[in-house]
Copies of this chain bind each other. A is one copy, B any other.
Amino acid sequence: MLRYARPIQQLIEALEKLPGIGPKTAQRLTFFLLRSSEQDVRTLGEAILSLKGETQLCQQCYNYCTAELCPICEDPHRDGSVICVVEEVSDLMALERPGEYQGLYHVIGGALSPVENVKPSDLRISELLERIKQTLPQEIILATSPTVEGDATAEYLRELIRALPDPPRITRIALGLPVGGDLDYADQVTLARALRGRTVMED
């Protein structure tokens, strides 16, 4: 029924496939691009086209990168004795944002889930165990999400890592109240975990 010009229709349909972008937003973005400068539109289009071709996975930690190793693994100032295990690259990016953590990462690529049929062999778990055996880190931080799947994955990894000869220290990222959060609004499970994980106040 709609009589969009073909290039417009094609872009709207392509944008609609993106998560969180419905027909209205896709149309709005398309009309915005029609009004944008030729240069801005070309920059966006070329950034999309070069994304897949120029991006690969870090051979050590499975972060996205353009070389064999990612900038984190290549950085001589990072502490190779600590490996933080995360589900996805976006989790790694979130942990990098505060600029606090100085160790390395290992992106396993998801969490175990019987519902979504994610088995241990679907994740980069054997690669993690092999890496631990070869680089002998002192600590493994399990930073999978505090969800049923993430917790189960952390438990599963803990068992496997503990069974290694001379295993590293295994820690789990802290669960508790978010900073700035109101105790009154926190859900019961978070409150219970925050109580259980209470720490001694230093002088």
Contact = CB atoms under 8 A, between A and B. Distances in A.
Interface string A3-20: 111111011011101111
A171 to B, nearest CB: 23
A177 interface: no
A29 B34 contact: no
B66 A5 contact: yes
Nearest to A43: B14
Nearest to A48: B45
Contact of A93 (B2, B19, B51, B65): B2
Contact of A52 (B4, B29, B38, B48): B38
18 contacts: A2-B93, A5-B66, A5-B71, A6-B66, A7-B47, A8-B51, A8-B55, A13-B47, A14-B43, A19-B32, A20-B25, A20-B28, A34-B52, A42-B49, A44-B48, A45-B46, A45-B51, A49-B49
